[in-house]
Amino acid sequence: MSYFTIHSMIVLIFTIIIFIIELYNLKSLKRLKKFSNPLNNPKVSVLIPARNEEKNIKICVESILKQDYQNFEVIVLNDNSEDKTRDIVLEMCSEYDKLRFFDGDPKPSEWTGKHWACHQLSKKASGELFLFIDADTVHKQDTLNKTISALYAENSDLLSAIPKQIVKTWSEKLILPIMPWSISSFIPIGIANKSKSPSLSLTVGQFMLFRRNAYEQVGGHESIKTEILDDIPLGKLIKKSGFKWNIVDATKNSSCRMYNSFKDVFNSFSRNLFCAFNYNIPLFLWVWIWLTAVFIQPIITIILFLCGIPISTDAILINILVLILTFIQWSIAIIRFKFPVYLIFLYPLSVILVDIIAIRSMYQTLTGKVKWKGRTIEKK
């Protein structure tokens, strides 16, 4: 058996493993919509940090204020916005009793911007539960009811949710599917829920519901104030501290348009990717080189064969099987998380684009050149 055939067999085994994980997650990654309304009625503080969100803030806040759940408050922090965010929220405050607003204090040098904003919000909150949401999310009327029900039904201390990603530009369509695909393919959710291992968690910062006591006991955002991300580190910290983490599919309840341009997508993923791997250079390089081999090699192999390059029949058959399994796997992720169906056929391009961003992410993080919303972000 040739080296090429052996390598193809290893790729096939890996593909089968992540295919099985994705099939397993079809059931274990529960849909938020399936939960009934909660039996109890705890007060929820919905906490929204807002920096330069004039395009999104009104529809986001209104979607929360119109919830059919009754016992909640909404607090918005203006994080030194340079647009009309402040004026928009102040005008809304005169219409809604549940809405509170304040200007954030200047950011201390040792803090990351969003973490500082969320920390301040938590100090103003009076609820038994803290729901941190991004200002570019929109929520159906029953979202609070379903989320609180899911938290108690799953006995969770942190419940994160995956919103539907609204994609309009080609950069959004090609790059954003990598996020929910990664969650559904590499984290066996049912096992992760029962495991105490912090590595078996992947939290989505757009939507995080905490029990207040758990949030405060782990130190809240202050405990991760120097990190670039808040979601993944907080999820790991919750599990490390003995609390229970969970994640659900909220694509039928919540939506989010994270970006409006290629520049936004490119910069955001450059900010996030490397730190999501805890700045581990060997692991980061190995993962992206390996994923590229898994998803691109079968296509190249078949093309070379069709061009007359001598390749063994065994190797061709193995690579065809890998290609079929990969296609089915991406189909499941694209359809479940409500991306345009035609993107299934463009997954090789998605992988190549994310590879390029991954290299940029590592370079920018190591050289201290990561920027987001006008701020330079450094890993302390």
Give the model confidence (pLDDT) of 134-191 as tens digits: 999 999 999 999 999 999 999 999 999 999 999 999 999 999 998 888 889 989 999 9
Q: How many CB atoms lie within 10 A of CB 51?
A: 21
Model confidence over 183-241: pLDDT tens digits? Answer: 899 899 999 998 989 988 889 999 999 999 999 999 999 999 988 888 999 999 999 99
What's the rounded Cα separation, in Å, for the pair 240 and 234? 10
Model confidence over 30-57: pLDDT tens digits? Answer: 999 999 888 789 999 999 999 999 999 9
- Domain 28-169+179-257 sits in which CATH superfamily? Spore Coat Polysaccharide Biosynthesis Protein SpsA; Chain A (3.90.550.10)
Whether pLDDT at 333 is above 80: yes
pTM (predicted TM-score): 0.89
The secondary structure of the chain, three-state, reads CCHHHHHHHHHHHHHHHHHHHHHHHHHHCCEHHHCCCCCCCCCEEEEEEECCCCCCHHHHHHHHHCCCCCCEEEEEEECCCCCCHHHHHHHHHCCCCCEEEEECCCCCCCCCHHHHHHHHHHHHCCCCEEEEECCCEEECCCHHHHHHHHHHHCCCCEEEEEEEECCCCHHHHHHCCHHHHHHHHHCCHHHHHHCCCCCCCCCCCCEEEEEHHHHHHCCHHHHHCCCCCCHHHHHHHHHHCCCCEEEEEEEEEEEECCCCCHHHHHHHHHHHHHHHCCCCHHHHHHHHHHHHHHHHHHHHHHHHHHCCCCCCHHHHHHHHHHHHHHHHHHHHHHHHCCCCHHHHHHHHHHHHHHHHHHHHHHHHHHHCCEEECCEEECCC
Per-residue model confidence (pLDDT) at position 304: 87
Q: Within the chain, which residue ranges are assigned CATH 3.90.550.10?
A: 28-169+179-257
What's the rounded Cα separation, in Å, for the pair 206 and 321? 36
